[in-house]
C-alpha cells in the first residue's frame, strides 16, 4: 500500500516511485523556492540515505508515496497518510518542480489524486494544511472544494519571518456535489450486470 500505483490525470500521471526518482528528490529538498512554499519531505542527504528513505516508505502501511509525471518527465511527488480505520486521508505533500510552476500540473495531479481518494478508496474526508502565503496551493484547494477549519498563527518560520498555517478539509459530500460527473471510469452499461 505504501508505494502508490498509477492514477491518471489529463496532464499528469501519479505512479509508483522508483530509485531513479531520488536525484530529483535531492534537488527539490535543496530548492529554497520549495522550502519556502512548503515543508520538505526529507532534508538533503547522500544517495544511500535517499535509498533508505524510499525503502522505508515502501514498508510504511499508513503512508503512500507517488511520483508525478507529465509528458514522460518526472515533475513532482505526492505523499498522503491514511488515518486509522480508513476514514480519512491527510495529504502531507503535493510538490511540483518549481521550474514547472504555473502550468496547471499541480491542479491536475491534485484533482486526479482526490478522485482516487473519494471515488476509489471511499474515504469520508481529506485534510491538508498549507502556508498562508502559498497562494497557488490555496487556490487549488479551494477549487477542489476544501474549506478552512482552523488557522495556526505564526506556525512556520522561513525567510526570516513566521507565516500562518491554514488547515483545510473536504468531506465526501462536498466532493460528490462538485465532481460526481468527473469519474475515472465511464459508467458500465446496464447489460454488464446481467
Binding site for another protein (CB under 8 A): 84-85, 87, 125, 127, 148-158, 162, 167, 169, 171
DSSP H helical ranges for 83-159: 105-119, 135-144
Nearer of residues 23 and 154 to another protein, judged by Cβ: 154
Nearer of residues 120 and 162 to another protein, judged by Cβ: 162
Nearer of residues 84 and 192 to another protein, judged by Cβ: 84
- For the bound state, the minimum distance from the C-beta of residue 54 to another protein, rounded and expressed in Å, comes to 22
Nearer of residues 55 and 87 to another protein, judged by Cβ: 87
Number of neighbouring beta carbons within 10 Å of residue 102: 9
Task: Identify the residue whose cell numbers are 511540483.
Answer: 96
CB proximity list for 80: less than 8 A, separation 6 or greater: 63, 64, 89, 90, 91, 92, 113, 117
Amino acid at each position: 500500500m505504501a508505494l502508490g500505483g498509477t492514477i491518471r490525470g489529463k496532464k499528469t500521471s501519479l505512479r509508483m516511485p522508483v530509485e531513479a526518482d531520488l536525484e530529483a528528490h535531492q534537488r527539490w529538498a535543496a530548492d529554497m523556492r520549495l522550502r519556502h512554499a512548503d515543508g520538505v519531505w526529507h532534508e538533503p542527504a547522500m544517495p544511500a540515505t535517499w535509498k533508505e528513505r524510499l525503502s522505508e516508505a515502501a514498508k510504511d502501511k499508513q503512508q503512500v508515496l507517488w511520483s508525478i509525471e507529465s509528458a514522460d518527465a518526472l515533475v513532482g511527488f505526492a505523499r498522503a497518510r491514511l488515518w486509522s480505520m480508513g476514514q480519512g486521508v491527510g495529504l502531507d505533500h503535493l510538490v511540483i518542480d518549481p521550474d514547472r510552476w504555473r502550468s496547471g500540473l499541480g491542479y491536475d495531479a491534485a484533482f486526479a489524486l482526490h478522485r482516487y481518494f473519494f471515488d476509489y478508496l471511499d474515504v469520508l474526508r481529506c485534510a491538508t494544511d498549507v502556508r498562508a502565503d502559498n497562494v497557488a496551493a490555496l487556490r487549488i484547494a479551494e477549487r477542489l472544494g476544501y474549506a478552512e477549519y482552523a488557522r495556526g498563527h505564526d506556525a512556520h518560520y522561513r525567510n526570516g519571518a513566521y507565516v500562518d498555517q491554514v488547515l483545510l478539509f473536504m468531506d465526501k459530500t462536498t466532493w460528490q456535489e462538485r465532481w460526481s460527473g468527473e469519474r475515472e471510469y465511464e459508467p458500465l452499461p446496464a447489460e454488464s450486470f446481467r
